[in-house]
Amino acid sequence: MATQKKAANGKDLDFIRRIITKHKRYDFMFASLGTLVIASLTITLLVLFLDLVIEGYPRFNLDFFSNFPSRRAARAGILSAWIGSSLVLLVTFFVAVPLGISAGVYLEEYAKKNWFSDLIEINVSNLAGVPSIIYGLLALGLFVYSFGLGQSILTAGLTLALLMLPIVIVSTREAIRAIPVHIREAAYAVGATKWQVCHNHVIQYSYGGILTGVIIGMARAIGETAPVITIGALTFIAFLPPSPIGLEPPFINFEWLNSGFTVLPIQMFNWISRPQHAFHINAAATGAVIIMLTLVMNGFAIKLRYNIRKKIKW
């Protein structure tokens, strides 16, 4: 009898060992496949980036960033494009971030869990994957024609804010969901209100994830071309919008919101569509600048999230 039990136990141990070995083999295969895919994508991006840098290297100088576009490729610059991109992203940030974070906090902490909130969640998730040209067509009919805002920086900022809004909402909700429930329970136990729990605990602990989503959304917005072309961004512009800061009281000027504009992707598109090779060099330099800005913003988001999470003590 004892011999039979030992044999049975031995068979069970052998069976468990085989299962563990099989699962370890699958884990190794999956990890290897994931590493191969990541390495392939990274190498592809690096090759494309180096190709742009090598081709556009002759234009990496101060004149390229301080000159207006010109019919002569050697004298052309991206001054109006990078300033236009900065002003458009400024409007996008101040519209999308407060609305997106507020909507995410409301949906996750205040909204009742029913079919209506589920419907909103499904639509928000779907909006994050809608092609950007759809937002451009929506903005053309809504902001340009219905509201009469014209083909201005304000219209472009609102358009990109619509594009960025689902990203901010989804990232805010995911960051809030990662907060352990015992933090909320401890705050309620000492008499904190709903708003105090959200403001002083939930948002504070999820700050890193929220900011990461915001910066990633801004990085996507800086490279969008289809929406701003649809609403009528200029392809050649040799002037700057009025300065947002004035020399006379109240020292703030809002005339720049109604100004015409261009952005870096459109300037790149304008140059690459010309037959002269010299303009293609300008386009390559502009593409390298866009990629560098995107990488810097994403790297800043990763570093910021790491620093914030390191300071948090659960």
pLDDT-based confidence at residue 10 (cuts at 50, 70, 90): low
Residue ranges of domains in the chain, CATH in brackets: 61-311 (1.10.3720.10)
The beta strands (E) that lie in the chain are given as: none
Q: Are 103 and 169 in contact (CB under 8 A)?
A: yes
Q: In sequence order, what are the residues at sequence separation of 6 or more whose Cβ sits closer than 8 angstroms to the Cβ of residue 176?
A: 104, 105, 108, 109, 202, 203, 206
Condensed to tens digits (0 to 9), the pLDDT of residues 168-226 reads 888 888 888 888 888 888 888 888 888 888 888 888 888 878 888 888 888 888 888 88
Over range 58-80, report the average pLDDT.
86
Residues with Cβ within 8 Å of 254's Cβ and at least 6 positions away in sequence, in order, are 244
Above 60 in pLDDT, residue 314?
no
- Give dist(CA 15, CA 36) in Å, integer: 32
Report pLDDT digits (tens) over 29-67. 888 898 899 899 889 888 888 888 888 888 888 888 888
Q: What angle do CA 266, 242, 218 make, to 5 degrees?
A: 45
State the Cα angle at 88 between 149 and 273, rounded to 5°: 95
d(CA 140, CA 148): 10
How far apart CA 168 and CA 220 sit, in angstroms, is 12
The alpha carbon dihedral of 230, 154, 207, 42 has a sign of positive
pTM of the entire predicted model: 0.82
* Per-residue pLDDT, 36: 92
Give residue 5's pLDDT: 54
